[in-house]
Copies of this chain bind each other. A is one copy, B any other.
Amino acid sequence: MPPEPLICTVDLVLLTLQAGQLQVLLLKRDREPFAGALALPGGYVHTGEDQSCEDAALRVLQDKAGLQGLYLEQLATFSGPGRDPRGWSVSVAYLAVVDAGTLDAQGAPVRAAHWRPVDRLPALPFDHGRIIATAVERVRGKSLYSSLPAHLCPAPFTLPELQAVYEAVLGETVNHVSFRRKMGELDCLDAVPGGKRADGAHRPAQLYRLKQEFRQRLRLVGRGLKA
């Protein structure tokens, strides 16, 4: 029995932190269906070019947002007869995370694009609302026990800055002593030699960067940030 034809795409949930809120990149669709509407960046898998769906997601990230070298992970696959008016479809969704500094440096195509706070989204085509909700849940969950939020923080950063990012993502305050202890155990940060940030009438803070080996993957912690 030959396979029945269906539509296979990748969709990308690109998240960043702006104004203390998680924001998602939405692009104006330039073709049907839903031409002109805001939706997640995505596209067909190019079987002649891509070596995997992850490759397709990286290509979408590069072509539609001009970004590369980001943290990227497979989120989940969404499917069904009704989610795309063209017919039965499968979308492999990916989660990517970018910090404001990287966005300024290499994200020219989307710097002025449509970033929307994930907690106040308009109605979206396809099942993109559900895909984003899944992505946000994943990010909040992983923030409890991994270095993921560091990818949302422009490097170099101070520990208080990084803590503020964790707090923005988690939506609650974090004990600063525990936070420092945890970051020490995680052992995923390099202190910038001699690097300090003095931004006021107070003791300046040490600057850090993610260690090279964790730029594109996460460091997990044993027991988590909070009980």
Main SS class of interface, A: loop
Q: Are B80 and A6 in contact (CB under 8 A)?
A: no
Q: Is A19 an interface residue (CB 8 A)?
A: no
- A87 neighbours in B (Cβ, 8 Å): 47
Q: Are A90 and B227 in contact (CB under 8 A)?
A: no
Q: Are B79 and A4 in contact (CB under 8 A)?
A: no
Q: Are B92 and A47 in contact (CB under 8 A)?
A: no
Q: Which of A47-61 contact B (CB under 8 A)?
A: 47-48, 51-54
Partner of A44, one of B4, B8, B81: B4
Q: Is A195 an interface residue (CB 8 A)?
A: no
- Tell me the A residues contacting B by CB distance below 8 Å: 1, 3-9, 44-48, 51-54, 74, 76-77, 79-81, 87-88, 90, 92, 222-224, 227
